Structure formats: structure tokens, C-alpha cells
Amino acid sequence: MSEGFKPRGLIRTLILLSLYRGKRHGYGIMEDVERITGKKPSAGEVYPFLQRLEREGYVRVEKDRTGRRKVYELTDAGRLLVEDTIERMSGIIEAIVESKLTVCANCGVKIYEGGVEVEVEGRKLVFCCEYCAANYLAKRGIVEAVLRPRGAGRRHDREEHRPRA
Ligand SMILES: [Zn+2]
């Protein structure tokens, strides 16, 4: 088994996730991949990778009951590999979501959706709610500003984020 083995690419990750669900024939793995990507992977994308996983000790291969077709199953090391992969992927997805997040200019709360936009001195500011916007503007003595909704719905209740002032 090689240290730090990491599956590269979406197809390989999906192959591992398919195996994580249980024993699979090669075609079952291909179907699982197709269900997610909408495209059946080629044998060349699947079988060499499965062979490599077997060589590295992550997958065990048996013959099925017909004795003709191979069944692939993750070993304990394989399960750990998949769990590690899932963890790393969640980290990546979190970072992507995080990078799309906006923070309220008044209270600093993360805004996943909604909130209000205010044009202040040519700058666009975003707030979690109109209370935060009003609070921010009041603190700076700005009397006139146009508040626009930033999108439909608010992530949190306005009671929770009442301005501190
Ligand atoms: Zn706020």
C-alpha cells in the first residue's frame, strides 16, 4: 500500500463512492457513476483504476456466483481511504460555499442568502437585515440611503440579529 494515495478526478472518486455502498460488479460501478455524471464511464476509466486499487490493497476482487464475473469490494484500508476522501471533499465544498458567502457590514454575521444592499457613498454594502443596515447608517450619520433586498428570504430571524446599539 502506498502512503498518501489519493484518487484523482471525479470519476475515480465516484468509483470509490460506489464501492463504499457495497460489493459491486464492474458494470454496477459504471451505472453508479453514470447516475451522477449522466454519462457512462468507459471501461478504460474504470478497470485500470480498479486494478490499481486491488494492487494497492484497497479493493479485494472475487468471482461472483456464476464464477465468470468479478465482484469488487473495499478492504478496510479502502474504506478508510474513501472516508478520508469524503472528508477532504467536504472541506473543499465548505471552502467553495465559504468563498461565496457575504458578511454583514454591521454585525459580521455570514449571509448565505437574502439580506439587504445599500449604496453608501458609491459603495455597495451588504447587511443581514434592514435593522443592521439602519444601525450602520445611523452610526455614521447617513440619513438617506436606498435599501434594496439582496435576494428572496433571510437566513435567520431578524430578532436574533437586532442591532446592538
Ligand atoms: Zn447584521
Helix (H) or strand (E) holding 12: helix 10-20
> Hunting for cell 484497497 — which residue is that?
58
Ligand 1 centroid to residue 128 C-alpha, Å: 4
So what's the pLDDT on residue 157? Answer: 46
pLDDT below 50 — which residues of the chain?
A: 1-3, 152-160, 165
Task: Choose one of 53, 69, 98: the last residue of a domain.
Answer: 98
User: How far is the centre of ligand 1, averaged over its atoms, from the C-alpha of 127 (Å)?
Assistant: 5
The secondary element (H helix, E strand) that includes residue 112 is none
- Same-domain check for residues 87 and 15: yes
Please tell me the pTM assigned to this model: 0.58
Who's near 61: CB < 8 A, 6+ residues apart? 50, 54, 70, 71, 72, 73
Per residue in 15-52, pLDDT (tens digit) is: 999 999 999 999 999 999 999 989 999 999 999 999 99
Tally of domains within the chain: 2
What pLDDT, on a 0 to 100 scale, did the predictor assign at position 59? 98
Q: Are 68 and 126 members of one domain?
A: no
CA of 162 to the centre of ligand 1 (A): 8
Tell how far the Cα of 161 is from the centroid of ligand 1, in angstroms: 6
**pLDDT at residue number 164:** 54
Residues 72 and 124 in one domain: no
CA of 109 to the centre of ligand 1 (A): 6
Angle between helix axes 10-20 and 43-55 (nearest 10 degrees) is: 60
What does the pLDDT read at residue 21? Answer: 93
Residue 87: partners with Cβ closer than 8 Å, 6 or more residues away: none
Q: What confidence score (pLDDT) does residue 154 get?
A: 43
Instruction: Look up residue 24 and give its DSSP letter.
Output: E
Separation CA 23–CA 72 (nearest Å): 6
Q: What is the CATH number of the domain that holds 83?
A: 1.10.10.10
Cα(151) to centroid(ligand 1), Å: 15
Residue 57 lies in a domain: yes
For residues 14 and 94, membership in a common domain is answered with yes
